Amino acid sequence: MTVQLNHTIVAAHDKHASARFLADILGLGVGPQYGPFIPVEVPNGVTLDYIDTPGPITPQHYAFLVSEDDFDTIFARVRAAGLTYWADPFHRRVGEINHNDGGRGTYFDDPNGHNLEILTRPYGSGS
């Protein structure tokens, strides 16, 4: 059996701005609108399909596995944007990155409160 994640829907107050935020931080493109969705495709073919949602948004967590070089580039964009970042998903270690499994990782929020993460090693993969 082959199972692959194809897409997920991301709630946003402004789907265009939210898709652009993610694409700009990660260095990706924003696809053309498809129905009510604005897609951001990551290199493994998965899309995050942004949709406008009225009212409160329940924050979700989206983690992106990146290379060491890409981490440096993306982290520089996070800092240049003046975003607060944390070493942990509970937002207790502000202004830090983690070194879990011998890699690096950090968390930051998008404009809708979604908890975004970049990491260089999958959890449980190293020392």
Mind listing the pLDDT tens digit for each residue in 54-86?
Answer: 999 999 999 999 999 999 999 999 999 999 999
Are 40 and 19 a contacting pair, CB within 8 Å?
yes
CA atoms of 102 and 94, how far apart (whole Å): 20
**Under the phi-then-psi rule, with left for phi > 0, alpha for psi from -120 to 50, and beta for the rest, what region is 124?**
left
Q: Is the pTM of this model over 0.75?
A: yes
State the pLDDT at residue 127. 62
Low-confidence ranges of the chain (pLDDT < 50): none
Structure token digits, residue 88: 């942990």
CA distance 6 to 4: 6
pLDDT of residue 1: 79
